[in-house]
Amino acid sequence: MFVRRRYSERPPRYEYVLTDKARDFFPVVAALLAWGNRHLAPKGESILLASRADRRPFDPVVVDAADMQPITLDNAVIIAGPGASRGMRKRLASLKAMNPAIAPAGD
């Protein structure tokens, strides 16, 4: 998640910077922060995620990049992806009977 980068030769000094993998993980951190504030902070939020420009607190939500609509349990379904193995496709097909939120590809 971090990489050590030298920023001074004499004396040798280092800084730790986020990797691309860590930057891609940030939306997960934002969602967990919002969840914690909503469910684990009865006296109010102890920290907030806010806009750099105007310090307005954000209300993080997960949205679909194509239409910017929130992704919810009501509108989402799990399907096999293009890299799914035959075994994964079989597991998804068998789970569909138990849970309608899971659908094999083609449904």
Cα–Cα distance measured from residue 18 to residue 38, given in angstroms and rounded to the nearest whole number: 27
The residue-averaged pLDDT of 29-53 equals: 95
In terms of domains, do 60 and 10 share one? Answer: yes
In terms of domains, do 24 and 47 share one? Answer: yes
Please report whether residue 71 resides in a domain.
no
In terms of domains, do 34 and 55 share one? Answer: yes
Question: 69 with 75: CB under 8 angstroms?
Answer: yes
The residue-averaged pLDDT of 62-91 equals: 93
In terms of domains, do 19 and 57 share one? Answer: yes
In terms of domains, do 51 and 90 share one? Answer: no
Residue 34: per-residue pLDDT: 95
Count CB neighbours of 80 within 10 A: 19
pTM: 0.72
Residue 92: per-residue pLDDT: 87
By the 10 Å C-beta count (0-12 exposed, 13-18 middle, 19+ buried), 42 is classed as exposed
Whole-number mean pLDDT of the chain? 91
Please report whether residue 56 resides in a domain.
yes
Percent of the chain with pLDDT over 90: 76
Instruction: Look up the domain containing 9 and give its range.
Output: 2-65
Residue 100: per-residue pLDDT: 65
Over 70: is that where the pLDDT of 103 sits? no
Please give the tally of structural domains in the chain: 2
